[in-house]
Structure 1
Amino acid sequence: MKHKLLTAIVLGFFAFTANAQTADEIIANYFENTGGLEKWKTIEGMKMSAKLNQGGMEIPLEIIQLKDGRQATIINLQGRVIKQGVFDGTDLWSDNFMTQKAEKSDAETTENFKLSIGDFPDVFLNYKAKGYTVELAGKETIEGTETFKVKLTKKQIKVDGQLTDDVSFYYFDTENFVPLVVEAEVKSGPAKGQVSQIKFSDYQEVSNGVLMAFSLAQGVKGGPSQPIAVTAIEVNPAVDAATFKYPEGQ
């Protein structure tokens, strides 16, 4: 009887161990299931074409990101071209929707942005080398799907001159190991104190064989979200440097 009981305990332990996951293993499975690390490492730039649904109106936009940190979101709003979140390698700037003039971000916002330059093409790529830590915070069911909740802690950022922890939570599908939701506390602005939420779905293969989400929805947790439908993702596109240049002399 004792022998049988011991055998059952041992088998139960190994069954539990086989099913257990660490945050590191979840991330490794994520990259493996979306094309493999080697393919992810070949990405030097991306150009995403998408449509933003705002109040029933579809607004075309283009998001360009390069490995050196340069980026731009280009919005076509009823014939007007508006650029948002543009980084030229030194300055972070956006067009003001009201005045249609380019405005540079303040020093704190720019410095916080520079801390994340190494996160392209994925925040979890080489996360240990960047000094980031990950922690499995349990499981949660998101809209009927069981997920692993992974806590990601990056380098501290500044908020009103004070160093503040930069923490976000990623919810990975327990079956496919792809992120379905990411949440983080809003540190400043009108939504300060609320939790931002981005949902990902419709993973498709892009030109280099990597799988990426083609459907996104962003907003605050518990509130309305803004859907974004991606129509195409081009990997390693040719991009004119003038795309990121701040328009001097306005």
Structure 2
Amino acid sequence: MKTAFFFFALILSTSFTASYAQTAEEIISKYLTAMGGGEKLSKLEGIKMSAKVNQGGMDIPLEIYNLKDGRQMTSINFQGKTLKQGVFDGKDLWGTNFMTMKAEKSDAEATAMFKTSLGDFPDPFLDYGTKGYKVELVGKETVEGTETFKIKLTKKPYTIEGKTEENVSFYFFDAEDFIPILVESEVKVGPAKGQISQITMSDYQEVDGLFFPFALGQGVKGAGSQPIVITKIELNPQVDPKEFVFTEEK
């Protein structure tokens, strides 16, 4: 029926743009509705995801925390030890160095880049206009057999090595369900600089009236991805604030 509708609209329209029958703003509105609604999302205070990744045939458990005030953390349980990555306590960004097994702060540039996304919880598209973000419908694109709307999201720019760099991501929304199945962005720093980061999302499930992907994949375009299986999602979890605080190790 959807295909027939678009075909009929194309016949009636004298404008190529109208054949999309959607605008970027409409797509984002339908996306937020499909996820459970902007009102419910705005009331979230935090999300805890229990997950696992497979490395060398071994399932490694993770706990991922994202809080409304910007604090976040990924806690990894590996061989009886707890390792932390991507921890932000409201001021410092830090994580465990896998070589020294000690906590280390990220440099000022990485911390500043991270802070450009503060306020994105629980979703960068929620009230995106008030954040100064811009959305643009690039067009339609087929992703692994699924027809999608490709949306360009432009956020606050980065400052890297003293130069202003654009902060752009491309979201691919399923054209029928209006849920994102792929996010692409250019890697700006590190060994993969210049390559395209890809995050895939699938197996959406309901949690207390909101919908979240329970299957994720993260990697670099053309080089495969690391699958992450979400086993449980808790909304508004109780978290000890001390878990986020950087502790100098000697």
Give yes or no for contact 2:62–2:75 (8 Å, CA) kept in 1: yes
Unaligned segments of structure 1, at least 5 residues? 1-7
4+ residue runs over 3 A deviation: 8-11, 14-19
Q: Which amino acid aligns with 1:165?
A: E
Give the Å deviation of 1:158.
1.4
Task: Give the CA RMSD over aligned residues.
Answer: 1.9
Give yes or no for contact 1:172–1:178 (8 Å, CA) kept in 2: yes
**Partners of 1:142 and 1:204 in 2: how far apart?**
21
Q: Which amino acid aligns with 2:84?
A: K
Q: Matched residue of 1:187: which SS? A: coil
Please tell me whether residue 246 in structure 1 is matched to residue 246 in structure 2.
yes
Question: Partner of 1:226 in structure 2?
Answer: 226
Question: Partner of 2:196 in structure 1?
Answer: 195
Give yes or no for contact 2:103–2:249 (8 Å, CA) kept in 1: no
Unaligned segments of structure 2, at least 5 residues? 1-7
Q: Which amino acid aligns with 2:130?
A: A
| TM-score under structure 2 length normalisation | 0.92
CA deviations over 1:204-241 (Å, ceiling 9, x no partner): 0112x110100000101111100000001100011100
Report the more deviating stretch, 175-184 or 239-248. 239-248
Q: How does 1:21-60 map to 2 (within 5 A)?
A: 21-60=22-61
**Partners of 1:63 and 1:118 in 2: how far apart?**
17
Q: How does 1:1-250 map to 2 (within 5 A)?
A: 12-13=12-13, 17=18, 20-207=21-208, 209-250=209-250
Q: Matched residue of 1:28: which SS? A: helix
**Partners of 1:24 and 1:231 in 2: how far apart?**
32
Give the Å deviation of 1:79.
1.0
**Partners of 1:9 and 1:216 in 2: how far apart?**
35
Give the Å deviation of 1:248.
2.6
| TM-score under structure 1 length normalisation | 0.92
Q: Percent identity?
A: 61
**Partners of 2:172 and 2:78 in 1: how far apart?**
33
Q: Which amino acid aligns with 1:187?
A: K
Q: Which amino acid aligns with 1:241?
A: P
Give yes or no for contact 1:54–1:226 (8 Å, CA) kept in 2: no
Q: Which amino acid aligns with 1:111?
A: A
Give the Å deviation of 1:249.
4.6
Give yes or no for contact 1:71–1:87 (8 Å, CA) kept in 2: yes
Larger Rg: 1
**Partners of 2:51 and 2:10 in 1: how far apart?**
52
CA deviations over 1:38-71 (Å, ceiling 9, x no partner): 1111111010000012232211000011111111
Q: Which amino acid aligns with 1:74?
A: S
Change (3 A) 1:202 1:14: farther
Q: Matched residue of 1:126: which SS? A: coil
Q: Which amino acid aligns with 2:237?
A: P
Q: Matched residue of 2:242: which SS? A: helix
**Partners of 1:35 and 1:158 in 2: how far apart?**
35
**Partners of 1:158 and 1:169 in 2: how far apart?**
20
CA deviations over 1:132-167 (Å, ceiling 9, x no partner): 000000011001000000000001001222110001
Give yes or no for contact 2:182–2:201 (8 Å, CA) kept in 1: yes
Give yes or no for contact 2:102–2:249 (8 Å, CA) kept in 1: no
CA deviations over 1:56-99 (Å, ceiling 9, x no partner): 22110000111111111000111111000100111000010111
Give yes or no for contact 2:10–2:19 (8 Å, CA) kept in 1: no
